[in-house]
Structure 1
Amino acid sequence: MLLALAGALAFVGFVALGNWQLERLEWKRGLIERVESRVGSPAEEAPQRARWAAVNRQDDEYRHVAVAGEFLSELDTLVVAATELGSGYWVVTPLRRVDGDVVLINRGYIPQGVEPVPPPKGEVRISGLLRITEPGGSVLRDNDPMAGRWYSRDVAAIAAARGIEAAPYFIDAAANQAGSPGGAGPVGGLTVLRFHNNHLVYALTWYGLALMVVAAGVLVWRESRKVKKRGEPREPRGR
């Protein structure tokens, strides 16, 4: 009885996990479609202060945006990066908008040992992809603001370390923008837009395990029937 109950619970659990992966599959497909449509759309004005509280990953991440203002070049922050060009740093620089608010701009990638080219003086207009803050650090390391070691683009922490108030998002500058000249300077346009989508494989795996539980249950039931029959007394044959 206990074995049957355990098998039933395992079957239900595996089916539930398979169903969950199918739900994740639909979510991931929707995400990919949204991102593709956002990236290819004309740039719209980056969210202003009145909308800051409403900015979220579901509705805004990877939106193609633009912002005008002046770079605060003396407040660069280098964040450890691993890109298709190799290991190095993201150069994150605050930009003071025309209305006075500040947005952090990821000007792009530089290799280790290379000093970032200063951004241009005066008003510029930057286009790129809106990104949601990355609080805390990376999977392996926490940010250390006191030591100036940054492993993620944690907007609030970087702004606090620089003594400024900034929008709760940052912008990945597109290639060849002001302040992102490429070459030896920061290389923009390196936002990773590839999304792992293995949910169908995971779903089939969970459903396969559920079928294995059923098959194992059938085998156990058959063996128990055979044992029971062998243990039954035989009726005497008539003469």
Structure 2
Amino acid sequence: MRDLVAPALASLVCLAILIGLGVWQLERKAWKEALIDRIVARSRIDPPAPLPAFDAFDPARDEFERVRVHGRFLNDKETLVHGLAPGDTPGRALQGYYVITPLRLDDGRIVLVNRGFVPTELKEVARRAAGQVEGEATVTGMLRQSEVRAMFVPAPNPQTGEWFNRDVPGIAAAKGLATAGPSGVAPYLIEADQTPNPGGWPKGGQLRVDLPNNHLQYAFTWFGLALCLVGVFTAFALRRLRGETGNGETGENPASATATPPRP
């Protein structure tokens, strides 16, 4: 029995950790579902909300909110950001660019608008000149915070116009726009909806509110490991209690058994 004390304590500690991880994943599942519900509700606001104040933007509260703005596009300050978009064939993505164009609002402030996606062959403005919106325009879409560059995303090169993430302050600075603030450039951008652009390009409405929610299967994995641990320890303890060894012997001391010599 004493031989089981240390393994039992170690197994109890591991069991508590595995069960705790499973419970934590269930809590994360509930949190993720509530977050998805809030995002979907924001993205379907009708009528769209006005823009939040530039100096009071809170991503946790305002991101993915559906808004509508009116102004004039600054087409000469357009920026192309490398990206992918769903293609006509399931599972195959199109390679191209997202067209980020500043929109000067009626009060003089500026907000960047992701007007949508264009394939690589339409990178040059001359090949999609019909898609330029001249004059005043009304834009409806969802708010997004500035995109942080991930570890494996290449760094931008403003001199050559190579951008790989939607870096709002970086793009604004590269284009010579005013710094972010109450009277400058918004610290967020607008992902334009599917309203058709002249000439069909760029294609808006590329944003998908589709957050992964695999926490239930993660919880099952941790609880399953906990059950396996219980089974392994139970089998181990039974073998010890029965005096069995690893090669199937009974553990009885052969020296304790004496043979009775045959009688003459």
So what's the TM-score if we normalise by structure 1? 0.86
Q: Is residue 171 from structure 1 mapped to residue 190 from structure 2 by the alignment?
A: yes
| Mapped contact 2:54–2:187 kept (Cα < 8 A) | no
Match of 1:87 among 92, 95, 116: 95
Structure 2 Cα separation of the partners of residues 8 and 140 of structure 1: 43
The one-letter code matched in structure 2 to 1:45 is P
Backbone CA RMSD of aligned residues: 2.5
Which secondary structure does the structure 2 equivalent of 1:227 belong to? Answer: coil
Query: 2:17 is matched by which residue type in structure 1?
Result: G
Deviation, 1:233, is 7.1
Q: Which digits, 9 at most, give the CA deviation of each residue in 1:173-221, with x for residues without a partner?
A: 11226xx3462x2111111122222111111111111111111111111
Alignment-derived partner of residue 206 in structure 1: 222
Q: Which secondary structure state, in structure 2, belongs to the residue aligned with residue 44 of structure 1?
A: coil
Cα distance change, pair 144–18 in 1 and its aligned pair in 2 (3 A): farther
Counterpart for residue 15 of structure 2: 11
Q: Is residue 2:79 matched to residue 1:77?
A: yes
Residue matched to 1:149: 162
Equivalent in 231, 247, 263 of residue 215 of structure 1: 231
Contact 1:137 1:151 survives alignment (8 Å) = no
Separation in structure 2 between the aligned mates of residue 138 and residue 112 of structure 1, nearest angstrom: 24
Residue of structure 1 in register with 2:65 after alignment? 63
For the 8 Å contact 1:32–1:195, the answer to whether it is kept is yes
CA contact (8 A) 1:104 1:169 kept: yes
CA distance in structure 2 between the partners assigned to 1:221 and 1:125 by the alignment: 73
Deviates more, 1:109-118 or 1:214-223: 109-118
Partner Cα separation in structure 2 for residue 144 and residue 125 of structure 1: 31
> What letter matches 1:44 in structure 2?
A
Name the structure 2 match of 1:189.
Answer: 205
Whole-Å separation in 1 of the counterparts to 2:14 and 2:199: 55
Q: Determine what percentage of the aligned residue pairs are the same residue.
A: 37
- Quote the offset at 1:50 in angstroms: 4.3
Q: Distance in 2 between matches of 1:182 and 1:63?
A: 28
Partner of 1:35: 39
Cα gap change, 1:174 to 1:16, in 2 (>3 Å)? same
Q: TM-score, normalised by structure 2?
A: 0.78
The reply on whether 1:132 has 2:145 as its aligned counterpart is: yes
Shift in Å, 1:32: 1.8
SS at match of 1:45: coil
What amino acid does structure 1 have at the position aligned with 2:162? R
Mapped contact 2:132–2:198 kept (Cα < 8 A): no
Q: Which amino acid aligns with 1:126?
A: V
Counterpart-to-counterpart distance in 2, 1:211 and 1:18: 12
Deviation for aligned residue 1:49: 2.5
Partner of 1:45: 50
Distance 1:137 1:215 in 2: 42
Larger radius of gyration: 2
Q: Could you tell me how far apart the structure 2 residues matched to 1:154 and 1:33 are?
A: 27
Aligned residues: 230
Letter in 2 for 1:158: I
Q: Deviations over 1:17-63 (max 9, x none)?
A: 212211211111112211221222111111132423xx21x222211
Match of residue 172, structure 2, among 152, 159, 165: 159
1:155–1:188: structure 2 CA closer, same or farther, 3 Å change rule? Answer: same
Tell me the amino acid that sits aligned with residue 160 of structure 1.
A
Bigger shift: 7-16 or 213-222?
Answer: 7-16
One-letter identity of the residue aligned with 2:111? V
In structure 2, the CA distance between the partners of 1:182 and 1:196, relative to structure 1 (3 Å rule), is farther
Matched, 1:96 2:115: no
Question: What do residues 47-90 of structure 1 show as CA deviations (whole Å, max 9, x unaligned)?
Answer: 132423xx21x222211101121111111111111111322110
Distance 1:79 1:111 in 2: 11
Local SS of the residue matching 2:154:
coil
Query: Aligned pair 1:120/2:133, yes or no?
Result: yes
